[in-house]
Amino acid sequence: MKVYKTNQIRNIALIGNAGSGKTTLAEAMLLEGGVINRRGEVTAKNTVSDYQPIEQEYGNSVFSSVLYAEYNDYKINILDTPGMDDLSGGVVSSLEVADTGLLMVNSSNGVEAGTEAAARHAETKHKPLIFVFNQLDHENANFDQTLDKCKSIFGNKVTIVQYPVDAGPGFSSIIDVLKMKLYKYGKDGGQPEVLEIPASEKERAEELHNELIEMAAENEESLMELYFEQGSLSEDEMRKGMKMGILQRDLFPVFCVCAKKNIGVNRLLEFIGNVAPAPNELPMRKIESGKEVTMSETEQPSLFVFKTAIESHVGEITYFKVMSGKITESIDLTNATNGAKERLSQIFVSAGKSRTKVPEMVAGDIGCTVKLKETKYSQTLSTKESGTKFIPLQFPAPRHRVAVKAVSETDDEKVGEILNRIKYEDPTFVIEYSKELRQLIVHSQGEYHMNMLKWFFDSVHKIEIEFKEPRIPYRETITKAAQADYRHKKQSGGAGQFGEVHMIIEPFEEGSTPKSVFIFDGKEQKISVRDVQEHQLSWGGKLIFCNCIVGGSIDARFMPAILKGIMEKMEQGPLTGSYARDIIVYVYDGKMHPVDSNEISFKLAGRNAFSMAFKKANPKILEPIYDLEVWVPSDRMGDVMSDLQGRRALIMGMGSEKGYEKISARVPLKEMNKYATSLSSITGGRGQFKISFNAYEKVPADVQDELLKAYEAEQEEE
């Protein structure tokens, strides 16, 4: 394979709704590009990109696939991405390294939820888009209706370059208003017959041609002047203006294909080579540290890893984009994240699971390597001298959480190891072991995403796992002052145990200071605060520990033991075993024994006195409250609002944003279980949301009663 220069490389990501034909188009592109000599089919499970067993079983893309085609002296790197919104990680990482997105639109279904989601990802990354209307041979294909819907959602930037003459089962002809030619394809597609536009279509084609000229001219002042002078532009001049419009996202050209029959694919590839931007025509990826570089072959070499995959019999495969310079076999680079030295013993171009070894790659190209030891996705490899480190990938925040547990306890450790491997292949999984909840929590994009995870355990690792609703990280606190004392006394033949602690506790509020007078049961109690320790708790809130001992009733050497006992009880609160917070503790009296008093005695006395006082201090359970933002189609607004009210949500505001209704609310985390699934069901997959932690607030009395009963039942079972 020849070595392509940066200006001969095009990087495209196929994005869109599941079922829009991305994988089928990729097959046709590989056929036209000479990579394969026979097209596979998704239903036959023999396509180049959907080669993973889970993809063949599910019948759709689960991971992004890296492919390429060579066409008209251009190398076109193709990233085929999943269409399910739950699998958006592959879309995001692919758009990070692609220079153009091909937004696939099913001409019989029109703009679907996944179409809009993919377009939003492209907008976030500020990537140029080419709209590809596919499945024009379907009996329900409606080009004009689909175009109108695209324009209503994405604006008049959506501009016809091609339109079909005969959409429907007999589809075979496309009119190209850039070239002003009719392309007529045979039943097997491939090379078309290029004809003059028939008289019946001439008027419409000329009207659309002039619209395209105007759109192209708007993007460049000199072209606009030329257009006013001549009344038209040449094809090359139109290409120049279109490229500028595409780069600025002011022009979304529309192309027509039937990927399954290989109709229109070669013309699309030709346009990508001629007009789509080269890697060095887009802004360079921002750097986090080190020397800035440009996407030039003459710079020092650097590459950015955007995907890590694991394949049986091969091991770990590292996919990268060359960001600067030139890389060759056996080049030594340094991982800018961890300082590890890595040797790229071999470099490959990838077509699914097929990899072709190449001697070198230049800036802008996409390839892969194997057997790197310390390098994962989102990391940079560069020369030690430059130290260039590009900003990491930003994936969508998780929207769904479950607790994962092995059915057999002997498999618990294996489950943790497997999850840690899986998160490198799909970084949208976030794995955490919660010491507080005593659960292994997996955060994902949705239930479909989690079902995919279970497939791997069932089918690949042969380990049975179960999903449970995660516990909620409640907090416990108090609302009034209370007093308690506790004597720990134990005799066991030899030296015994003895410790007595008297304490007062009260709620802590920011800015409050320790008191010296309390009233309990109508009696005034005075104390003298001698020492104050403030402890910032790792789970939030504070503990203020006040030593008020006078007269030596408790020796100073036992005070740390008392604090330790209190802290142990705060880590497993008296009400539900949740963390306690925001409490001031006054240890003001007690008793010792000259022989039997020791640290363990005072630790136990302190812990029990604290627990007794806590239960008398009108304790309350606090629950985590999250800020929620939901974007919904206007016709589903009422249903979404009703659902939120059933989740104890407090609506904070409403508005409109980018054609959607936006609801801002505050909602308890407990009520957000499976919300992604519910919202998708209510809105037909079009609803979007994001949540972020806000604060802890007291739970309603009825909820607190339920929690106390549930904890008591759990304790009895244990």
pLDDT of residue 670: 94
Query: Which residue ranges make up each domain of the chain?
Result: 8-198+250-281, 287-390, 400-468, 476-618, 622-703
For the chain, the maximum distance between any two Cα atoms, rounded to a whole number of angstroms, is 113
Residue 445: CA count within 13 A, CB half-sphere? 21
Does residue 715 have a pLDDT over 90?
A: no
Q: What percent of the chain has pLDDT over 70?
A: 99
Mean pLDDT, residues 589-601 taken together: 92
The per-residue pLDDT for range 49-68, each reduced to its tens digit, is 999 999 999 989 999 999 99
The per-residue pLDDT for range 279-318, each reduced to its tens digit, is 999 999 999 999 999 999 999 999 999 999 988 778 899 9
The per-residue pLDDT for range 516-558, each reduced to its tens digit, is 999 999 999 999 999 999 999 999 999 999 999 998 899 999 9
pLDDT of residue 718: 61
Is the separation of the CB atoms in 630 and 679 below 8 Å? yes
Tokens matching residue 61: 């893309």
pLDDT of residue 205: 97
| DSSP string computed for 525-569 | EE----EEEEEE-TTSSEEEEEE---TTSS-GGGHHHHHHHHHHH
pLDDT of residue 344: 96
The per-residue pLDDT for range 384-406, each reduced to its tens digit, is 999 999 999 999 999 999 999 99
Report the CATH number of the 400-468 domain: 3.30.70.870
Mean pLDDT, residues 21-36 taken together: 96
Q: In the predicted model, what is the mean pLDDT of the chain? A: 94
CATH class of 8-198+250-281: alpha beta
* Domain 400-468 identical in fold to domain 622-703: yes
* Rounded-to-integer distance, Cα 297 and Cα 124, Å: 28
Domain topology for 287-390? Elongation Factor Tu (Ef-tu); domain 3 (2.40.30)
* Rounded-to-integer distance, Cα 88 and Cα 219, Å: 32
Would you call 615 exposed, middle or buried from its count of C-beta atoms within 10 A (0-12, 13-18, 19+)? middle
Q: What percent of the chain has pLDDT over 90?
A: 87
Determine which helix (DSSP H) or strand (DSSP E) holds 213, and give its type and residue range: helix 199-217
Is the separation of the CB atoms in 48 and 30 below 8 Å? yes
Tokens matching residue 191: 């090379």
Residue 321: which pLDDT band, with cuts at 50, 70 and 90? very high
Sign of dihedral through CA atoms 556, 561, 565, 571? positive
* Rounded-to-integer distance, Cα 398 and Cα 443, Å: 6
Mean pLDDT, residues 179-197 taken together: 93
Helix axis angle, 235-247 relative to 199-217, nearest 10°?
60
Does residue 659 have a pLDDT over 80?
A: no
pLDDT of residue 275: 96
Does residue 36 have a pLDDT over 70?
A: yes
Residue 227: which pLDDT band, with cuts at 50, 70 and 90? low
pTM higher than 0.85: yes
The per-residue pLDDT for range 351-382, each reduced to its tens digit, is 999 999 999 999 999 999 999 999 999 999 99
* Rounded-to-integer distance, Cα 246 and Cα 248, Å: 5
DSSP 459: I
The domain 476-618 is placed in CATH, from the list 3.20.19.10, 3.30.230.10, 3.40.50.740, 3.40.50.720, at 3.30.230.10
pLDDT of residue 363: 97
User: May I ask the CATH architecture of the domain 622-703?
Assistant: 2-Layer Sandwich (3.30)
Does residue 616 have a pLDDT over 80?
A: yes
C-alpha angle 164/158/109, rounded to 5°? 60
Tokens matching residue 83: 């269409």
* Rounded-to-integer distance, Cα 164 and Cα 255, Å: 9
Does residue 115 have a pLDDT over 90?
A: yes
Residue 455: which pLDDT band, with cuts at 50, 70 and 90? very high
pLDDT of residue 187: 85
Would you call 709 exposed, middle or buried from its count of C-beta atoms within 10 A (0-12, 13-18, 19+)? exposed
Q: Is 289 helix (H, G, I), strand (E, B) or coil?
A: strand
Cβ neighbours for 310, distance < 8 A, ≥ 6 positions apart: 316, 317, 421, 424, 425
| Residue carrying the six token digits 């076999």 | 329
Is the separation of the CB atoms in 436 and 472 below 8 Å? no
The per-residue pLDDT for range 464-501, each reduced to its tens digit, is 999 999 999 999 999 999 999 999 998 776 778 999 99
